[in-house]
Structure 1
Amino acid sequence: MKKHHAPALIAIVLYKSFVASLLTVTSIALLFALKNHQVLEKFSQSYVLSSKLKIIEFIVDKLLMVKPKTLLFSGLPAAVYAVLTAVEAVGLWYEKDWVTILVLVLVSISSPPEIYELVHGVTVLKLAVFITNVAILWYLLHHLPKHGKGA
């Protein structure tokens, strides 16, 4: 028998999967930039970028301005957070009891930086992410324990 998932839970799993994907791509890009910093410098000076692909030139220039140590200290936590978010999405899909605790921990970790960013400049995206995370936490605290059937 196929298990029926609430539409809100499906939306949360899709959101968490999307976030995990973005974090994975970000981590890979940062760690790739760290490992290939000299190659990126040569690439940025190449003829290919001087006439075309302005967006790639912009991204490479931004990456080259970041110190290698910063790339490492950003890329590794992004990778860890991507894995945790992916585990969270899987746990939510299977409605495991432990996932509520994981969500609480991850929201507790991510909320202070989100609030800090909002205090220093509200944007639609920052506000939307913060409200989405609070809504997910509220939903899971009120609904998932009632439906989760396994640890």
Structure 2
Amino acid sequence: MKKQRPPGLIAIVAYKAFVASLLTVTSIALLFALKNHKILENFSESYLLETKLKIIELLLDKFLIVKPKTLLFSGLAAGFYAGLTAVEALGLWYQKGWATILVLVLVGISIPPEIYELFQGLTLLKLAVFIANLAVLWYLLHHLPKHGKAD
């Protein structure tokens, strides 16, 4: 008989899979931008943007301020964290005890910086992520003995 997964656990796995997907896309975009940084610089200075596409010009100006080393570090860090988040999701899906502990530690570590960020400037996205992480932390702490087998 197959063991039924609790709805809360399924929601956490879906959340972690979504975050891993976003981080993967971010990592790829940053590394792609690094590879094409010079092309983007040249494009930003092209005649095409002189009178048209002001929003693109504005975005490129903001983007080109970032140094290539920063893009590389950010892209690699996002990729590493995407992999770690995917491992968390898979471990939780298979109800491994180590995955529960890993999620508790990583989410617990992220709470203080999230609080700091909320005080720096409250946005709907920051608040949503903070609330989601608090919910994950609360759920896993209250259901710790029920999830995960001794590995």
State the TM-score, normalizing by the size of structure 1: 0.85
CA distance in 2, matches of 1:89, 1:58: 37
Aligned residue pairs: how many?
Answer: 151
**How far apart are 1:109 and its partner, in Å?**
3.2
Contact 1:33/1:63, CA 8 A, preserved across alignment: no
Contact 1:20/1:85, CA 8 A, preserved across alignment: yes
What letter matches 1:116 in structure 2?
A: Y
CA distance in 1, matches of 2:71, 2:6: 39
CA distance in 2, matches of 1:54, 1:144: 52
Q: Which residue of 2 aligns with 1:125?
A: 125
Q: Which residue of 1 aligns with 2:39?
A: 39
Change (3 A) 1:143 1:56: farther
CA distance in 2, matches of 1:65, 1:150: 49
Change (3 A) 1:57 1:23: farther
Give the match's secondary structure for 2:92. helix
Contact 2:100/2:147, CA 8 A, preserved across alignment: no
CA distance in 1, matches of 2:4, 2:80: 31
**How far apart are 1:88 and its partner, in Å?**
0.4
Q: Which residue of 2 aligns with 1:103?
A: 103
Contact 1:41/1:64, CA 8 A, preserved across alignment: yes
CA distance in 2, matches of 1:53, 1:64: 17
Unaligned ranges ≥5, structure 2: none
Change (3 A) 1:44 1:94: same
CA distance in 2, matches of 1:15, 1:126: 15
Unaligned ranges ≥5, structure 1: none
State the TM-score, normalizing by the size of structure 2: 0.85
**How far apart are 1:98 and its partner, in Å?**
0.2
Q: Which moved more, 1:52-61 or 1:100-109?
A: 52-61
Change (3 A) 1:3 1:72: same
**How far apart are 1:78 and its partner, in Å?**
1.1
**How far apart are 1:45 and its partner, in Å?**
4.0
CA distance in 1, matches of 2:29, 2:13: 24
Contact 1:34/1:71, CA 8 A, preserved across alignment: yes
Change (3 A) 1:71 1:139: same
CA distance in 1, matches of 2:77, 2:68: 15
**How far apart are 1:135 and its partner, in Å?**
0.9
Aligned-residue RMSD, C-alpha: 2.3
